């Protein structure tokens, strides 16, 4: 069984079709990354998978069940989403934020429990945020803040985590830190991770499964080493490039053409 599956999914904003009759399968226990040019519908698709956007046509299956027919709290126990650029209320501490992840498990009969406390502590430790638990979220660095939000999604204890551009606005060090964390969650806890990423080389490094979107449909899907090519980059991103092998990981490495200093030519000129 797939973690998430769509059947003839059509998404729109008003009369503008964003995704058209899309059939996609998200493998269970793997990291799937959506790639594509700006405006191709990556974030829209991710939001619909979390039931934040109602399909115009089609169906979404969560663990084999129609997500539209499931109670909201039941969905929240199976799937968590971290949108792009979330903002916490002023003064909210990391601990208070992470506790929000236990909302699906609370009701008037079942109040805060030892199980809730353990889930929160595990999330803080897994993201290396335990020492910052009493700090206000708005006082943290960008990387720390993103880890705090990921901790909240972990406290939700879902098998599936959706993230919309989790490395946006982070420097290179913090990008790798966040992606390493997500990779470890997949490896250690078998979480199904679904992300939107703009950096094609990082997508190739971390994804088991790439889904390239173009013209409202899937242009290509599969292992990065199977689908990434000069032709795909040209068709999906309208960019000429060379594709070689990442010397550290053996994954595809895209080197874009463009203007800039050419050290080789300078060496020849001055040699």
Tell whether 18 and 64 lie within a shared domain: yes
Residue written as tokens 């594509």? 36
181 in any annotated domain: no
Indicate if 146 and 197 belong to the same structural domain. Answer: no
| Residue 113 shares a structural domain with residue 224 | no
Same domain, 266 and 166: yes
Please count the CA atoms within 13 angstroms of the CA of 205 that sit on its side-chain side: 18
- The verdict on 199 and 224 lying in the same domain is yes
Count the neighbouring beta carbons within 10 Å of the beta carbon of residue 197: 24
Cα separation of 30 and 27, whole Å? 6
pLDDT in tens, the chain (271 residues): 799 999 999 999 998 999 999 999 999 999 999 999 999 999 999 999 999 999 999 999 999 999 999 999 999 999 999 998 888 889 999 999 999 999 998 877 778 889 999 999 999 998 999 999 999 999 999 889 999 999 999 999 999 999 999 988 888 998 999 999 999 999 999 999 999 999 999 999 999 999 999 999 999 999 999 999 999 999 999 999 999 999 999 999 999 998 888 776 555 455 4
On whether both 166 and 57 belong to a single domain, the answer is yes
57 shares a domain with 3? yes
DSSP 3-state assignment of 96? Answer: helix
> At 11, which CATH number?
3.40.50.300
134 and 248 together in one domain: no
**Partners of 195 in the beta sheet?**
33, 163
Statement to judge: residues 52 and 113 lie in one domain: no
Domain with 4 in it:
1-70+162-170+190-270
Tokens of 152: 């909240």
How many C-beta atoms lie closer than 10 Å to residue 88's C-beta?
19
Q: Report the number of distinct structural domains present in the chain.
A: 2
The CA distances from residue 111 to 26, 55, 102, in Å, are 34, 34, 10
- Judgement on whether residues 17 and 86 belong to the same structural domain of the protein: no
177 lies in a domain?
Answer: no
- β-partners of residue 80 are 161
């Amino acid at each position: 069984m797939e973690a998430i599956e769509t059947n003839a999914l059509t998404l729109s904003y008003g009369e503008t079709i964003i995704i058209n009759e899309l059939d996609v399968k998200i493998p269970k226990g793997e990291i799937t990354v959506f790639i594509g040019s700006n405006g191709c519908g990556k974030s829209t698709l991710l939001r619909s998978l979390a039931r934040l956007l109602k399909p115009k046509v089609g169906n979404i299956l969560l663990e084999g069940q129609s997500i539209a027919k499931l109670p909201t709290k039941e969905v929240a126990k199976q799937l968590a989403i971290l949108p792009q650029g979330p903002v916490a209320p002023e003064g909210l501490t990391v601990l208070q934020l992470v506790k929000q992840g236990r909302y699906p498990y609370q009701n008037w009969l079942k109040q805060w429990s030892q199980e809730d406390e353990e889930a929160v502590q595990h999330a803080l430790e897994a993201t290396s945020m335990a020492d910052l638990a009493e700090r206000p979220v708005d006082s943290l660095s960008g990387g720390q803040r993103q880890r705090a939000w990921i901790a909240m999604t972990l406290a939700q204890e879902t098998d599936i985590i959706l993230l919309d551009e989790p490395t946006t606005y982070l420097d290179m060090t913090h990008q790798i830190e966040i992606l390493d964390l997500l990779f470890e969650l997949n490896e250690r806890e078998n979480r199904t991770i679904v992300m939107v990423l703009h950096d094609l080389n990082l997508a190739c490094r971390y994804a088991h499964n790439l889904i390239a979107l173009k013209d409202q449909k899937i242009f290509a899907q599969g292992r990065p080493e199977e689908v990434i090519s000069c032709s795909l980059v040209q068709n999906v991103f309208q960019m000429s490039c060379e594709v070689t092998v990442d010397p550290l990981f053996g994954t595809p490495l895209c080197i874009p053409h463009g203007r800039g200093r050419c050290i080789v030519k300078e060496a020849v000129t001055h040699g």
